[in-house]
Homo-oligomer: A and B are copies of this chain.
Amino acid sequence: TKTIAIVADLHGNVLGMGLSSGSNYHTVGLENAINAIKASSEQAISNANVSTIKSACFGLAGAGRISDHKILFPELENLTIANKILLKHDAYIALAGATICQPGVIIIAGTGSMAFGMNHLGKEERSNGWGYLLGDEGSAYYIGRKALSYACKAFDGRGKKTALLEAIIDHFALDDFNQIVKKVYSEKTSAQKIANLATIVSQQANQGDEIALDIMNDSAFELALSVKSVIKKLDMDNERVLVAIAGSVFKSGEILLKNFRQYINSDYPLAEIIYPSFKPVIGALLIIYNEIGIKLDKYILDNLRKGDALVEKGYNV
């Protein structure tokens, strides 16, 4: 839903930043996608007040397949932003930022959910991330949809009583729960609206509601399942694999994270669950550093951390 660009020097100093609209060409179309990339890049370059860019690494949503690469790469070259360009997909740069280019798995659980990993041989694997109708198990949408289903069940007398029913009535300011039908079906962007309910579920789980706890536990189970399938496919079963957790769902409180950890570590006791070291856009920079052989010493890492904080601010503009 947004495209962020940074310009940095070889010492990890972020010199400029740019922000524009979404650039997944599958959803916004190729022309809009390229325009968004151009806009954020040019903003970052102008912001940094530099004349030439040596290398650019693009980490784009919807760029995961060879067919995507064939379409996007010539378009990015035409932008003549940098002397050399690299094209990766969004989960690739997210993993690079999260683990500082070390092998591992990243699990991203926001509106959608997906796991992506890479091993020492550079082999890539993914799991989940099929979108809200087919998959995205464990995501905020998944949690929100379950909450609605359980609320309807409670209302009908088909299921256990749950505080979620009242909480959903409050959230949508309904006079009568029956109005939920109109809220969900006739108003646009209902997927996002449903995903937003995840916050309510975590609140009610923290207050001890049994159904809300079940939903959060199930989400933890599904997210762990996604990660474990990637570890297995990468043959990382017997190593100290880094598992980076990202996205709003993991910020929903201790309960989910505790269960997630248990599901992972009961099968893979050597797996180490970490918060991402850096944001995806810093990950793209780290890929360039890696490519040209820059050693990440304490000085560079400190600078990168300052850059990461700048990006954080930029995200919240």
Contacts and interface: CB of A to CB of B under 8 A. Distances in A.
B194 A157 contact: no
Contact of A133 (B131, B148, B159, B233): B148
Interface string A26-68: 0000000000000000000000000000000000000001000
Contacts of A225: 153, 158-159
B134 A156 contact: no
A127 B158 contact: yes
Interface of A, helix, strand, loop or mixed by DSSP: helix
Given A148-B133, A152-B134, A152-B135, A127 B157 contact: yes
A299 interface: no
Contacts of A84: none
Copies assembled? 2
Interface string A191-206: 0001000000000000
Q: How large is the interface on A (under 10, 10 to 19, 20 to 34, 35 or more residues)?
A: 20 to 34
A279 interface: no
B128 A180 contact: no
Nearest to A67: B178
Contacts of A290: none
A156 B131 contact: no
Contacts of A232: 157
13 contacts: A126-B156, A127-B157, A128-B156, A133-B185, A134-B149, A134-B180, A134-B184, A135-B148, A135-B149, A135-B152, A153-B225, A156-B229, A158-B226
Interface in A118-171: 126-128, 130-131, 133-135, 137, 145, 148-149, 152-153, 156-159
B130 A152 contact: yes
